[in-house]
């Protein structure tokens, strides 16, 4: 373990010439098998603290505050993206001042500059610390934001030429960062004992733990916002889906239509790859990437999950497909939310899902009850209206229902899909039918519309340590073809 030097940078990368990289590339990945098929991560190495090459920047020290803590800052070696290109990240660990932490909350949503400062736990983090749960912070960010633009560009070039996932930070470096941070914390045996590990975050910090948790059984829960969940046709480079997307007017961004992050189709095709190559790559790696392809093993492990994909997000751009094929994945759909979106005027502004999710995960016996589980939804066309019914499992104790809708929404991932919002008047409060045990709403249909998209949101309040937390869950996002079958007045 290396000692602290105040002038030593948090980030350190080594370079070798592109010519040497080209010569070694085939040998390296033939031996490592860096592909999809469960070989993207060498989990023996990921879990081995002897390979961390820890540099101590701040040794364990007491930090006073509303809750006193002990904190330590280090940098670690995540691994080599390619021979000679070491990928290092800082990790700050926070535990209660008077005892070991049992498990911890993990996030990559920090910057190197912010991590240099002692952490000041917020109200939720203080609740976790008081309950004996630690905090682990690291950095999952675009390398260009911390001065490594050349490395990031070189990685993208290598990936486009080879379609080797080891070269792309989304597929390897970011998930590996979180898993290596777990190894770092658990190597501190005088400060941490094994327990639950829950990861949360948005965008890249939602996608990365959603991927890491598929590979690392030390992780027990994930709460992710505006990030991918499922393997829709666009993500798998289905030509019919892409033809429809590319036929749509407007300028499409680099994320919409991407497999797991920014789409790389054009760059890969420009280097000589074919659509068949893209389809083979996405098909082979998707088991290593998507929550939707791993539900059985995640539930067997007892992993807890909650997702906030947004209804108008450039990364989670396939709500209708996901709702139709994965209705049992728990999601909350904030109306008109997504990257850069402010939300509908009637958005559930009191929503406290993340706090309630973490408290329930770590302290299940201290929270007043479970969060809501996914409901079922049915619909029927009746006299020019759509009747929607939503049913939760018995004794769920949901408190409210509100339904939202859009007519003739543009195809997934298209510019209009992202820009055309749910109109301000397109919502209604649902009423509860106690006899049938379900929530009911009627939506008056537009006689000129061919389709309607809808979803409903439902509240449940839970309590922890005398405080109330408003939680919300949605029914599956649903698209209904109506067309000429709607005859007003019949």
> Under CATH, which number does the domain 376-485 receive?
2.60.40
Q: What is the C-alpha separation between 183 and 89, in angstroms, rounded? A: 13
Residue partners of 445: CB distance under 8 A and separation at least 6: 381, 384, 385, 386, 452, 482, 486, 488
Q: What is the C-alpha separation between 88 and 57, in angstroms, rounded? A: 13
Q: What is the C-alpha separation between 69 and 98, in angstroms, rounded? A: 8
User: Is-contact 251 415, C-beta < 8 A?
Assistant: yes
The structure tokens listed for 57 are 């920047």
Q: What is the C-alpha separation between 244 and 417, in angstroms, rounded? A: 13
Q: What Rg do the C-alpha atoms of the chain give, in angstroms?
A: 24
| Superfamily (CATH) of domain 18-362 | Alpha/Beta hydrolase fold, catalytic domain (3.40.50.1820)
Q: What is the C-alpha separation between 148 and 81, in angstroms, rounded? A: 13
User: Is-contact 466 324, C-beta < 8 A?
Assistant: no
DSSP label of 356: H
Q: For the chain, how long is the longest CA-to-CA vector? A: 80
The pLDDT, as a whole number, for residue 265 is 93
DSSP label of 487: -
For the chain, the structural domain boundaries read 18-362, 376-485
pLDDT tens series, the chain, 490 aa: 444 433 344 444 343 343 433 333 433 333 333 333 348 999 999 999 999 999 999 999 999 999 999 999 999 999 999 999 999 999 999 999 999 999 999 999 999 999 999 999 999 999 999 999 999 999 999 888 887 888 899 999 999 999 999 999 999 999 999 999 999 999 999 999 999 999 999 999 999 999 999 999 999 999 999 999 999 999 999 999 999 999 999 988 889 999 999 899 999 999 999 999 999 999 999 999 999 999 999 999 999 999 999 999 999 999 999 999 999 999 999 999 999 999 999 999 999 999 999 999 999 999 999 999 999 999 999 888 999 999 999 999 999 999 999 999 999 999 999 999 999 999 999 999 999 999 999 999 999 999 999 999 999 999 999 999 999 999 999 999 997 443 333 3
Q: Report CA dihedral (408, 390, 396, 374) to the nearest 10 degrees.
A: -40
Residue partners of 185: CB distance under 8 A and separation at least 6: 91, 93, 104, 134, 136, 192
User: Is-contact 291 298, C-beta < 8 A?
Assistant: yes
Q: What is the C-alpha separation between 453 and 271, in angstroms, rounded? A: 39
The pLDDT, as a whole number, for residue 27 is 35
Q: What's the residue count for the chain? A: 490
The structure tokens listed for 16 are 């070798």
DSSP label of 145: G
Q: Number of H helices and number of E strands within the chain?
A: 14, 17
Q: Are both 18-362 and 376-485 of the same fold?
A: no
The pLDDT, as a whole number, for residue 146 is 80
The pLDDT, as a whole number, for residue 374 is 97
Q: What is the C-alpha separation between 312 and 386, in angstroms, rounded? A: 23
Question: In angstroms, how far is the first alpha carbon of the chain from the final one?
Answer: 78
The pLDDT, as a whole number, for residue 34 is 36
């Amino acid at each position: 373990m290396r000692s602290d030097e105040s002038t030593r940078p948090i980030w350190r990368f080594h370079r070798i010439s592109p010519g040497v990289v080209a010569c070694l590339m085939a040998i390296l990945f033939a031996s490592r098998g860096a592909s999809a098929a469960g070989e993207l991560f060498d989990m023996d190495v990921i879990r081995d603290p002897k390979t961390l090459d820890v540099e101590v920047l701040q040794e364990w020290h007491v930090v006073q505050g509303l809750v006193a803590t002990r904190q330590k800052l280090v940098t670690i070696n995540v691994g080599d993206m390619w021979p000679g290109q070491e990928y290092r990240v800082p990790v700050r660990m926070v535990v209660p001042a008077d005892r070991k932490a049992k498990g911890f909350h993990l996030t990559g949503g920090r910057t190197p500059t912010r991590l240099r400062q002692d952490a000041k736990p917020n109200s939720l983090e203080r609740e976790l610390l008081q309950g004996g749960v630690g905090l682990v912070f690291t950095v999952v960010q675009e390398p260009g934001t911390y001065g490594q633009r050349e490395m990031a560009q070189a990685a993208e070039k290598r990936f486009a030429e080879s379609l080797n996932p080891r070269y792309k930070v989304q597929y390897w470096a970011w998930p590996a960062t979180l898993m290596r941070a777990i190894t770092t914390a658990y190597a501190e045996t005088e400060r941490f004992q094994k327990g639950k590990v829950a990861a949360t975050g948005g965008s890249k910090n939602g996608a990365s733990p959603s991927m890491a948790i598929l590979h690392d059984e030390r992780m027990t829960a994930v709460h992710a916002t505006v990030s991918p969940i499922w393997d829709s046709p666009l993500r798998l480079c289905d030509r019919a889906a892409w033809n429809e997307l590319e036929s749509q007017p407007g300028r499409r961004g680099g994320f919409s239509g991407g497999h797991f992050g920014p789409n790389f189709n054009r760059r890969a095709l420009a280097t000589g790859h074919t659509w068949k190559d893209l389809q083979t790559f996405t098909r082979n790696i998707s088991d290593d990437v998507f929550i939707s392809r791993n539900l059985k093993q995640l539930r067997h492990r007892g992993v807890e999950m909650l997702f906030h994909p947004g209804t108008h997000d450039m990364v989670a751009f396939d709500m209708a497909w996901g709702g139709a094929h994965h209705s049992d994945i728990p999601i909350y759909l904030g109306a008109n939310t997504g990257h850069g979106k402010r939300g509908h005027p009637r958005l559930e502004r009191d929503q406290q899902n993340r706090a309630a999710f973490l408290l329930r995960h770590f302290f299940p016996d201290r929270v007043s009850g479970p969060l809501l589980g996914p409901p079922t939804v049915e619909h029927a066309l009746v006299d020019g209206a759509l009747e929607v019914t939503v049913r939760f499992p018995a004794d769920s104790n949901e408190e409210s229902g509100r339904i939202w809708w859009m007519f003739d929404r543009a195809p997934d991932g298209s510019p209009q899909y992202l820009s055309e919002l749910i109109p301000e008047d397109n919502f209604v409060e649902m009423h509860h039918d106690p006899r049938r045990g379900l929530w009911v709403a009627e939506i008056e249909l537009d006689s000129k519309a061919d389709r309607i998209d809808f979803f409903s949101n439902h509240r449940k309040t839970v309590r922890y340590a005398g405080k109330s937390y408003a939680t919300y869950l949605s029914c599956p996002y649903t698209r209904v073809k109506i067309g000429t079958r709607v005859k007003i007045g019949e």
